[in-house]
Amino acid sequence: MAARQLAGSGADVLVIDRYEIGERQTSACAIPTAWLQELGLIESEKQRFDSVLIHTAHGSIRLPVPWSFSTFDYPSFCELLWDQCDAEFETAKVNGRSDSEKTGTVPIGASPISIDTDRGPIHAPLVVDSLGWKRVLAGGAHYQPPEAPLSRGLEVHPPGGNVDLEVFINRRYVPAGYGWSFPADDEVRVGVGSFDPHFPVRHTTDLLADDIEVGKSAYQGNWIPHRLRPATANGVFFAGDSAGHCFPLTAEGIRPALYFGAALGMKLRDVVDGTVTREQALDDYHSFSAGHQRAFDWLLRAQKLLPKIHPRLVKPTLAASFKAGGSGDYAFNRYLGIAPPEFAALANSALRSSLDEVAA
Ligand SMILES: Cc1cc2nc3c(=O)[nH]c(=O)nc-3n(C[C@H](O)[C@H](O)[C@H](O)COP(=O)(O)OP(=O)(O)OC[C@H]3O[C@@H](n4cnc5c(N)ncnc54)[C@H](O)[C@@H]3O)c2cc1C
């Protein structure tokens, strides 16, 4: 997303990943539909939902959503987004900051930044770490799960079909967290997420799959950050899970990765255009991300509260909190507003006007 915002800028943009683009899906891939529409990615949509069906240990409740969620096809989504970039791509494994920085031969964060990869060093004045929760390019101590503010998630992707986006808030599957069944046309993505990183989710992912009678194939899982982290450090920009941009409670991380990636890409374009310095961009983007702390705290409070609600009270609490047309619409709209689709529209128009300027 950050690279996309630099399309046509003349910047020499290199995107690297240890895998090919779209090769390794790490998510159930549910996102507000409007984000797919705004970004021209709607062709990757697999199924659309205007409500969430929640199963508690003591009954089920359907929460109408005042907008819609979609599940999408991960490889097509990545390809469509990549088509909007004019960057180069190489596969390489990033090992970390270069040895010269580590040994102090070069001051940390000085431009250009040096990155050590299994295919040799890379030097660049602007470096974005979107390598996930490991935050590979940060200096200092790294998170060591399970002793870290991380959730953990595991899911299976068997073939199948269903009509509802389903969530299971039931201690049968996880004491603190939830299970899900997200249909995506010809397959269904069924998994368990635990807010407590010590809880092993493999057994109960199997249990949920057995309970709802789907197969157990194509396992995929990961640690999921649930705490916002500084979005810049030692001269490097962080976006997505590397900055803890995944929302607590819901573990929705794709939309915020797109949102913060867009904000960052727009800022980097200003640096390339010479209207702000790299140092100013580091400050501005840092503040932009940190400005979302309250919203992340709101979701983290809810994440901590959910496991404390007595199982018998979960359904009545949801019924009282999510009234259709009232508190439910308010909560869902407030949630969407943390990273609203209008921001994608803003990123589009910024990109269009930059491209028009280049063409003129
Ligand atoms: C089971 C599960 C289900 C989920 N379901 C949803 C969902 O339905 N909707 C949603 O919005 N979010 C969901 N999430 C969260 C979401 O997957 C993440 O928040 C999101 O993928 C974060 O995007 P990212 O680009 O920051 O990091 P990632 O998606 O983790 O991407 C990091 C990239 O960096 C590459 N990489 C990592 N280390 C290196 C290295 N050393 N060298 C080179 N490349 C490297 C990886 O190959 C990868 O391509 C789910 C998470 C899990 C675990």
**CB of 93 closer than 6 A to ligand 1?**
yes
**Residue 206, in any domain of the structure:** no
**Residue 177, in any domain of the structure:** no
154 and 216 Cβ atoms separated by less than 8 Å = no
Whether 157 has a pLDDT exceeding 80, the answer reads yes
**CB of 129 closer than 6 A to ligand 1?**
no
**Residue 56, in any domain of the structure:** no
**Residue 248, in any domain of the structure:** yes
276 and 15 Cβ atoms separated by less than 8 Å = no
- Please tell me whether the overall predicted TM-score, pTM, comes out greater than 0.85 for this model: yes
**Residue 344, in any domain of the structure:** yes
Which residue's alpha carbon is nearest to atom 48 within ligand 1? 131
Question: Using one digit for the tens of pLDDT, what is the confidence trace for 163-206?
Answer: 999 999 999 999 999 999 999 999 999 999 999 999 999 999 99
Residue-averaged pLDDT of the chain: 95
Cα separations in angstroms, 327 against 63, 91, 182, 330, 333: 11, 47, 24, 5, 10
Whether 102 has a pLDDT exceeding 70, the answer reads no
Going by C-beta distance under 8 Å and a sequence separation of 6 or more, which residues neighbour residue 171? 57, 311
Mutate to test the pocket of ligand 1, among 20, 27, 155 (most ligand atoms within 8 A of CB): 27
How close is the Cα of 221 to the center of ligand 1, in Å?
A: 10
What range does the domain containing 32 cover?
4-47+70-91+126-143+226-359
Ligand 1, closest atom to CA 93? 42
Question: Using one digit for the tens of pLDDT, what is the confidence trace for 135-147?
Answer: 999 977 789 999 9
**Residue 65, in any domain of the structure:** no
Going by C-beta distance under 8 Å and a sequence separation of 6 or more, which residues neighbour residue 55? 166, 167, 168, 169, 170
Mutate to test the pocket of ligand 1, among 1, 17, 247 (most ligand atoms within 8 A of CB): 17
**CB of 22 closer than 6 A to ligand 1?**
no
SS3 of residue 98 by DSSP: coil
Going by C-beta distance under 8 Å and a sequence separation of 6 or more, which residues neighbour residue 303? 195, 226, 248, 249
How close is the Cα of 20 to the center of ligand 1, in Å?
A: 14
**CB of 142 closer than 6 A to ligand 1?**
no
How close is the Cα of 282 to the center of ligand 1, in Å?
A: 23
Q: What is the CATH number of the domain that holds 135?
A: 3.50.50
pLDDT at 101: 65
Whether 248 has a pLDDT exceeding 80, the answer reads yes
Count of domains observed in the chain: 1
Question: Using one digit for the tens of pLDDT, what is the confidence trace for 341-357?
Answer: 999 999 999 999 888 88
Spatial distance between the Cα atoms of 252 and 54, rounded to a whole number of angstroms: 17
Spatial distance between the Cα atoms of 8 and 2, rounded to a whole number of angstroms: 13
pLDDT at 254: 98
How close is the Cα of 275 to the center of ligand 1, in Å?
A: 32
Question: Using one digit for the tens of pLDDT, what is the confidence trace for 298-353?
Answer: 999 999 999 999 999 999 999 999 988 899 999 999 999 999 999 999 999 999 98
How close is the Cα of 138 to the center of ligand 1, in Å?
A: 17
Helices 327-338 and 311-321 meet at what angle, rounded to 10?
A: 90
What would the DSSP string read from start to end of 262-311? HHHHHHHHHHHHTSS-HHHHHHHHHHHHHTTHHHHHHHHHHHHHGGGS-H
pLDDT at 309: 97
Ligand 1, closest atom to CA 152? 53
Spatial distance between the Cα atoms of 313 and 310, rounded to a whole number of angstroms: 5
Confidence band for 99, pLDDT divided at 50, 70 and 90:
low
SS3 of residue 99 by DSSP: helix
What would the DSSP string read from start to end of 198-241? TS--HHHHHHHHHHTT----S-EEEEEE-S---SEETTEEE-GG
Q: Report which of 210, 244, 218, 4 is spatially closest to residue 132, judged by C-alpha positions.
A: 244
**Residue 98, in any domain of the structure:** no
Whether 255 has a pLDDT exceeding 70, the answer reads yes
pLDDT at 105: 64
**Residue 213, in any domain of the structure:** no
